[in-house]
Amino acid sequence: MFMQQSPSEEETSPYLKIYYTYAEEEEKPPAPPLGGIPRQKVPGWVRWPIRAFYLPFVCIDTLMQKAAKIVIQPPYKQIGACKKRGNCCYYILLPKKKGWMNRFQIFWNTEILGFFLRDKTPCLSEGSEVYVMGCRYLNKDGSCRHYRFRPNVCRKWPLIEYFGYPRALKGCGFEAMRRDE
């Protein structure tokens, strides 16, 4: 079985150290960012129609990926179940893009999808720069307030890819096992 491994000490930022240690603990969620969760600048009457328009495309993409996994099976299979701790929602790692795509990606994820930046500077994780984000729609019991409208990153977690290793947080309840075992 595979679980996500913690990176080496020199490439870990303070936020990612919290990310990797929190995943193993079960007591309490991490503290909100200093100053609280920032307010979204785009009003809800603009955000929600955009998300509603975008939702069928997300569902079609998810459905097609599930169909592809039936036809061409990845080398790992998902076992276990979600423990509804919400730790996959507290620390979402978003790869940094270049140029205007990076600004658009941050805008889209923070203003439209409902994530918030835990730190404005990217961190190093597994050799690439990532932004650490959190979700503002997480309830205290670990469930999602907007489950039906959740973004693609939430629908695909835990990530089991065709190439490379699966990604799952320690303690979340999901694990990946090789199909040939």
Residue extents of the structural domains in the chain: 9-178
Specify the pLDDT at position 18: 57
Alpha helices in the chain (DSSP H): 14-22, 44-71, 87-90, 100-107, 152-155
- Rounded distance, CA 137 to CA 176, Å? 27
Specify the pLDDT at position 1: 32
Contacts 24+ apart (CB under 8 A), 71-74: 72/162, 73/179, 74/160, 74/161, 74/162, 74/179
Which residues in the chain show pLDDT less than 70? 1-29, 181
For residue 158, give the nearest of 147, 149, 167, 148 by alpha carbon: 167
Specify the pLDDT at position 20: 58
